[in-house]
Amino acid sequence: MVTAEWVPMKLDELGSVGRGKSRHRPRNAAHLYGGPYPFFQTGDIKAANFYLTDYSQTYSEDGLAQSKLWKPGTLCITIAANIAESAILSIEGCFPDSVVGFVADPAKADVRFIKYYMEILKLQMQNVSRGTTQDNLSVDKLLSFNFLVPSLPVQQRIAGILSAYDELIENSQRRIKILETMARALYREWFVHFRFSGHESIPRIASPLGEIPQGWKVKKLGDVVRFGTGKAIKPGGEGLYPVYGSNGIIGGSDESRHENGVVIGRVGAYCGAVVYCRSKFWASDNTLVAYPASKEVNAEFLYSLLAEAELSRYAGGAAQPLVTQTVLKQVEVLMPPTALLEVFGEVAGSFERQTATLQRQSQNLRRTRDLLLPRLLSGQIDIEAIA
């Protein structure tokens, strides 16, 4: 139960608040990008778990000159596109004016506590942001919300309890990335560089894709893959199954439409991005779902094949990038003999089983954290009673 020691405070009373910078003049000029400075966008923040490390774009020196480099520990809050998503910077980086940066006053607030309180306020912030043409959370609206905060030591204790779960989740995600990197490296070694076991005795022959080992075939992707389409999710689900968008998990659903498939981003910034979903799931309407078209092709090979194909190259669309089944089905791909596919499936399958275990552990940790979060941040749980 919240006591008198918990007091309502605005975000700018707990630290400094500033909007990101991205003038981009001329718009999307190539000289602004491709340098050493991470440029975090709203999609990157939405895709992050707790700490923000992954980015899909970088700034050059010119890009930095028209932006700002924020320090680690900054809480990034989205105010356009993906409303009220948040994550804490763990490395220096820039972000656009669709993101607000909050730097906690160390005498008043623990940035982790504020990040968790954002989850309590997220739905309210999204509701006040709804517009007739585009949703937008202005800085004034953001600063109108009350954060009910206890003393700094209590904030730190609550944040420590909850962040223990997120640190375990982050650790699992790092291990998953290592396993995926190992599988991708094996794929490249065998199926791109052709350095599989016994390759020295296999002669090379000409093909539309260049010289390939004898016995390998060039096929259309439509002969290898069976495509399905995503569907808009119904609001108000319980979240039993993950909902995949073009850039990974974007929510939960009490229904599932797919199982053990590869999700392909169909439109927008993550057009052509590929995610392997290892259980029952729902795919959003901005995605395609791919399955092996025959028993000879295992899911592990299919995922690596699609990930290596750089499907964004085949995007069209005047307003924004778009990939279609029709175009993808005509893409030429290289298929090795069935025996080699089976061996790859066995090796990569062991990586996938470890990954699936780690994902289940992460889901259980998220559920426990999400049950604790509202009770801890409302003072319903006596933190002194928690070891």
pLDDT above 70 coverage of the chain, percent: 93
pLDDT at residue number 28: 67
Give the single-character DSSP code of 235: T
**Residue 69 and residue 50: Cα distance in Å, rounded?**
20
Q: Higher confidence at residue 80 or residue 240?
A: 80
Q: 208 in a domain, yes or no? A: no
pLDDT at residue number 316: 84
If you average pLDDT over residues 132-159, what whole number do you get? 88
As a whole number of Å, the CA-based R_g of the chain is 23
Instruction: Mean pLDDT check: name the lowest of 107-116, 140-149, 184-193, 310-319.
Output: 310-319
**Residue 109 and residue 149: Cα distance in Å, rounded?**
8
Q: Look-up: residue for tokens 């944040």? A: 159
Highest-pLDDT range among 232-236, 242-246, 305-309, 316-320 = 305-309
Q: Look-up: residue for tokens 């029952």? A: 280
Are 17 and 120 members of one domain?
Answer: yes
Are 227 and 307 members of one domain?
Answer: yes
Q: How many CB atoms lie within 10 A of CB 137?
A: 22
pLDDT at residue number 269: 73
Residue range of the domain that includes 111: 7-149
Q: Is the pLDDT of residue 9 over 90?
A: yes
Please report which confidence band the pLDDT of residue 165 belongs to, taking 50, 70 and 90 as the band edges.
Answer: very high
Are 386 and 276 members of one domain?
Answer: no
pLDDT tens per residue across span 198-225: 999 999 999 999 999 999 999 999 999 9
Q: Is the pLDDT of residue 182 over 60?
A: yes
Please enumerate, as own/partner, the contacts of 200-204 that have beta carbons within 8 Å and a separation of 24 or more.
none
CATH number assigned to the domain comprising residue 97? 3.90.220.20
Apex 93 CA angle, 100 and 129, nearest 5? 20
Please report which confidence band the pLDDT of residue 272 belongs to, taking 50, 70 and 90 as the band edges.
Answer: confident
Pairing of strands 57-59, 86-89: unpaired
Q: 209 in a domain, yes or no? A: no
Are 120 and 16 members of one domain?
Answer: yes
Residue 339 CA, distance from chain mean position? 34
**Residue 210 and residue 34: Cα distance in Å, rounded?**
30
Beta bridge pairs of residue 149: 7
Contacts of 295 (CB under 8 A, 6+ apart): none
> How many domains does the structure of the chain reveal?
3
Model's pTM, two decimal places?
0.77
Q: 264 in a domain, yes or no? A: yes
pLDDT at residue number 2: 54
Are 299 and 356 members of one domain?
Answer: no
Are 292 and 363 members of one domain?
Answer: no
Are 160 and 145 members of one domain?
Answer: no
Are 77 and 132 members of one domain?
Answer: yes
If you average pLDDT over residues 184-207, what whole number do you get? 94
pLDDT at residue number 168: 95
Are 145 and 161 members of one domain?
Answer: no
CATH number assigned to the domain comprising residue 351? 1.10.287
Pairing of strands 86-89, 51-52: parallel
pLDDT tens per residue across span 328-363: 999 999 999 999 999 999 999 899 889 889 988 998
Examine the fold and report which residue of 292, 314, 335 is the final residue of a domain before the chain moves on: 335
Q: Is the pLDDT of residue 36 over 70?
A: yes
pLDDT at residue number 243: 83
Do 75 and 104 meet the contact criterion of CB atoms below 8 Å apart?
yes
pLDDT at residue number 382: 75
**Residue 128 and residue 142: Cα distance in Å, rounded?**
10
pLDDT tens per residue across span 63-81: 999 999 999 999 999 998 7
Are 241 and 368 members of one domain?
Answer: no
